[in-house]
Structure 1
């Protein structure tokens, strides 16, 4: 078990994963620090987390910031000299932002499948397209057999336009 009070925590937030990797590489090469991990955030930002002695982390964050700025934009940097033990779950989390986004995508996908199944049932419950003297219904606004409007024509040419717009 690592005591959180025995090291400093450095955070650098960049736009893009490539800039984040560049920052992590520069930090490790410039000082005696260790990369804890990275975290993808919304909007394409990546937070790289490093740990080490206070002086080493300060030097590493400065080098990482300069190096990442050459690749893409650096949003922010922060150094926490002795993080409280209450922050352990946040610091050592395994990419929580991506996990929550993936779960939301799964929920949305299931909801969309449910909606599409309901739409299929609604469409299948409707009667087949009616024809008059061999002509198909062409107006997709009023579905009236007597309407001469064809799909793609202005709405105003529909005979029921004034009734529909209310």
Structure 2
């Protein structure tokens, strides 16, 4: 008798979950193409607590720019920085890769320095958050998609 009551309760619970639409969350499906042909306006903020190479000054750091992912693992940057109060424009290139769980990494190489970032793509693909992985840098970046290129 007790087994029958438990079976009925489980059947009702399972049916209720079906009716309410409760299902396990779908696994993300991202790749390098997820960011393809997108320009992301970004802001980086933080500090350099140890200089990676001698001409780079320690102190507060900010960068604003446009980051373009080509869909084939290459990324370009056009930006302006303020590094301990020294302001200037710049360009950089790099590589990137995206994992199927929508995490990834990219490099940014310009001015003789290569920075390494880990990132995660927003659920709808319109943005990302990143953190610099280099020793001596405490820098985060947030990017928001600007537009899609049209051929």
Q: State if a TM-score over 0.5 links the two structures.
A: no
TM-score by length of 1: 0.23
> Which structure has the larger Rg?
1
TM-score by length of 2: 0.24
